[in-house]
Structure 1
Amino acid sequence: MDVQRRDQAEPPTRDALLTAWRAEERGQPEGWDFSALEGRMVEDPVPWDLDRTYREVLTGTRTALDLGTGGGEHLLRFDGHLPDDTFAAEGWAPNVAVARRLLAPHSIEVVHWAHDRDREPPTPMPFPDARFEVVLSRHEAYDAREIYRVLRSGGHFVTQQVGGSELGEIHRALGLLPRYPEIDLARLAQEAAQAGFEVLDADEHVGFYRFADVAALIAYLQRVPWDAPDDFSVDEYADELLALHDDTIGAGRPLQATKIRFWLHLRKPEAPSCPDEASRRMAAC
């Protein structure tokens, strides 16, 4: 699908552009819904089928956890495959309430928790050892050691992540350095192996986002504020945004930015058979 863009006989004035861009400043929407950007932003698809892998690991499982569930919308796509004992975790407070409303009718409890990348040792997950057979994480930060701890022997962890150097063109235009350039497939695969995981599958894809105009970019950044400066607003960054417009849409060139995705399918190795009841209650069994 092509990004829709209006043809204008006369270039818009600075004030007209800023007025249109300010109209996009509505704050981060609740949940995890990008449908309002249909026709204004397109992105290259990844070559793997994450949903299929989710369904495969969920089939027949008895306990599951979804990290970074947002408003719970994506998790419910697998409603027919979710076990009765399913939990979800979300770190952004407004989304917790949204997810609880959506998931409560499905008997899925939502806890308010998120991993802090800057904390060492990692923030403990609010679950006991060996609590889950499957853990899912779509674009949510995690610590491999904690995932390993809460997984049962033989359990699966499937995650898709956003590369830490994504949107580099936009960051440079706004004078922003990537916040987490260390987040890439090689590093997370290494951390998984160090935690004790087997890597069953992994891949990385580099493509592009394409925006109809700067207004569409601003609308996108409202939904992913961690990809924008902390003080981001149209008025605060008016000069940078106008320069970006002049260099792209104003010059007849596409407004695009690098998209980076990678994924990992990890497995906690089977533990040796447990000789007695006491051992079976421990995390390794």
Structure 2
Amino acid sequence: MPGTSEEEERARFEALVAEAAAVSVDGWDFSWLDGRATEQRPSWGYARAMADRLGRAQAALDIQTGGGEVLASAPKLPPVTVATESWPPNIARATALLHPRGAVVVADADEPPLPFGDAAFDLVVSRHPVTTWWAEIARVLKPGGTYFSQQVGPASVFELVEYFLGPRPPEDRGARDPQRARADAEAAGLEVVDLRPETLRTEFFDIGAVVYFLRKVIWMVPGFTVERYRPQLAALHHLIETEGPFVAHTTRFLIEARKPQQP
């Protein structure tokens, strides 16, 4: 901030970092960032489109549900609704949120096989899965069933990642390519009926927002702690205070794939 002394800037840095380091990062609710960071939303409106499909399904599975917040936002859930999650704090949070809605939460390691029988679901959804096990999705879908997912695209928020880690190799920058997702889905026997990528503007207005984000989205800067990256955080705080928000670009893609009807 113009006219701020070094002592005032340092005190503000310590206060913002301490606050962000202490707040809970359980679940997948980012409302703590309201007013502190903004992320442009994809044009397709995933939660609304997911809710529409859930309203027409008989048996649905939400893979890697996080704290269950997105699934719970749907006005109507199918008669059979199951969610999987691997992180214990999120399992507890999702259970408290989804059990009153009649949905079952299953603790699962996010590794094959999914703990369900063949052709168990006519709809499988997943928002921002860490890994998509296409063969397992194809196995648990009924013939004619659909997989509907919003996923993180390539080099998402890499301006922030590379600020802390330095330039990433091509294999990191090219990971999560939508066309690779298409190829993997088709290799598992699914027909991709929709695939839409978008690049979206993201802004961090204070260093606390950066700390919170990196604590919550743990794969961005693996092993992130405030103490480990304190010099970089202090320098970034000064940059934000003097030049304005730190700007990065989020990448997302929507993919919808259908299991063919049996002949």
Q: Same fold (TM over 0.5)?
A: yes
Match of 1:217 in 2: 210
1:249 equivalent among 237, 240, 249: 240
CA distance in 1, matches of 2:247, 2:21: 20
| Structure 2 CA distance for partners of 1:235 and 1:52, relative to 1, 3 Å | closer
| Structure 2 CA distance for partners of 1:250 and 1:11, relative to 1, 3 Å | farther
Conserved? CA contact 1:31–1:95, under 8 Å: yes
1:131 equivalent among 120, 126, 138: 120
Is the aligned partner of 1:53 residue 2:53?
no
The runs of at least 4 consecutive aligned structure 1 residues that moved more than 6 Å come to none
- Which consecutive unaligned segments of at least 5 residues does structure 1 have? 1-6, 117-122, 273-285
Structure 2 length-normalised TM? 0.90
User: What do the CA deviations read for 1:46-70 (whole angstroms, capped 9, x no partner)?
Assistant: 1212233223322332100011212
Conserved? CA contact 1:71–1:96, under 8 Å: yes
| Structure 2 CA distance for partners of 1:12 and 1:19, relative to 1, 3 Å | farther
Letter in 2 for 1:217: V
| Structure 2 CA distance for partners of 1:172 and 1:128, relative to 1, 3 Å | same
Is the aligned partner of 1:9 residue 2:3?
yes
2:222 equivalent among 214, 223, 229: 229
Task: Indicate the RMSD between aligned Cα atoms, in angstroms.
Answer: 2.0
Conserved? CA contact 1:156–1:267, under 8 Å: yes
Match of 1:109 in 2: 104
Match of 1:281 in 2: none
Letter in 2 for 1:268: K
Letter in 1 for 2:78: P
Q: State the 1:198 CA deviation.
A: 0.9
Moved more, 101-110 or 141-150: 101-110
Is the aligned partner of 1:205 residue 2:194?
no
1:189 equivalent among 169, 173, 182: 182
Structure 1 length-normalised TM? 0.83
User: What do the CA deviations read for 1:175-202 (whole angstroms, capped 9, x no partner)?
Assistant: 2548684112111111011111111111
CA distance in 1, matches of 2:176, 2:246: 25
Conserved? CA contact 1:67–1:88, under 8 Å: yes
Greater per-residue helix proportion? 2
Match of 1:99 in 2: 94
| Structure 2 CA distance for partners of 1:24 and 1:49, relative to 1, 3 Å | closer
CA distance in 1, matches of 2:51, 2:232: 44
Letter in 1 for 2:113: P
Conserved? CA contact 1:115–1:142, under 8 Å: no
Letter in 2 for 1:94: P
2:134 equivalent among 132, 144, 155: 144
Q: State the 1:28 CA deviation.
A: 4.8
Question: How many correspondences in the alignment?
Answer: 257
The structure whose Rg is larger is 1
State percent identity of aligned pairs. Answer: 36
Moved more, 236-245 or 128-137: 236-245
